[in-house]
Amino acid sequence: MKKVISVCQIQAFTIMLSLLTFVMVFCPTAHAAKLGLASAWLFDDNGGKTVRDVVSGHNGEIKGSLKWVNDGKFGGALDFPGKGDSYVRVDHDDVFNADPYSFVAWVKLEAASWQYVVWRNGEVWPEADLVRHLDIWIHDADYPVFMWHVNGNVGRIEGKTIVADGEWHHIAKIYDGKNVQMFVDGKLEGEEPSGGALDTSESPIWIGARPGDVAATGLFDEVGFFTEALSEDELNDVMDNGLADYAAVEAAGKATTIWAFLKTKK
């Protein structure tokens, strides 16, 4: 005998479907606002040519010969071959001109001559305008360097920790509107006055390379951009627990739960 669906069951299904739509559309944005997390690339896609931004849809496009691997710091990661044509490109959005901001990334880099973590100053080298808002690279001596521009004038911090050593390291640039801080593995490594509001542009973000064939050799995981200047305690919490705690995973979990409920009510 076929099961007859009652009016109440249909109404219940309609209500739950509406809740599911609400959770999927609205809850991720609300939950992702924690600490001002604007974008989070978790590198857990495990295939394809897109690195998904789980917060706001600023997905990255994989260029060149990057490879998905399973041995990231948290789940999956991307393996960068040290070639200038192999990087992740994220289109411009005004959110990336935020003042203040924090940028974080886990990297596991091999020793190599000059590498790039993140670049945002156009798609040619030398750059047409000195307007670096977000710029992190690895010196030939394997320590990190942060650079920025204010009215075309350069600011710079050089780190002390060797990060291109085949081990995982957490790198964070925190700009509070007045000062730029370099954190390596959760510890303050350098701090300098910014010299004013950082210059801005409409350039895309390049993760793992810059124009001119300077690129990273190794793994990237858990890259995030916040529109707030994280405190040291907040930064260490992000570093230890991962960006998923600040992104929309809770809402996604709720959506899964609701969908399972709907399936049992058919």
Structure confidence at residue 251 (pLDDT): 38
pLDDT in tens, 130-146: 999 999 999 999 999 99
Which of 148, 160, 142 lies closest to 217, judged by CA? 142
Residue-level pLDDT at 6 = 56
Predicted TM-score (pTM) of this structure: 0.83
| 43-72 mean pLDDT | 97
* Mean pLDDT of all residues in 121-125: 96
pLDDT at 248: 61
Chain centre distance of CA 26: 21
> pLDDT per residue over 194-245, tens digit each?
999 999 999 999 999 999 999 999 999 999 999 999 999 999 999 999 999 9
For CA atoms 43, 204, 243, 240, the dihedral sign is: positive
Q: Is the pLDDT of residue 105 over 80?
A: yes
Residue 61 has pLDDT above 80, yes or no: yes
Q: Are 41 and 52 in contact (CB under 8 A)?
A: yes
Distance from C-alpha of 206 to C-alpha of 244, rounded to nearest angstrom: 22
Task: Say what the pLDDT of residue 62 is.
Answer: 98
- Could you report the per-residue pLDDT of 148-179, keeping only the tens digit for each? 999 999 999 999 999 999 999 999 999 999 99
Burial classification of residue 110, based on how many CB atoms lie within 10 Å of its CB (0-12 exposed, 13-18 middle, 19 or more buried): middle
Distance from C-alpha of 152 to C-alpha of 132, rounded to nearest angstrom: 9
The domains located in the chain, with CATH, are 35-241 (2.60.120.200)
Angle of CA points 104, 67, 55, to nearest 5°: 40
Tell me if 69 sits within 8 A of 78, measured CB to CB.
yes
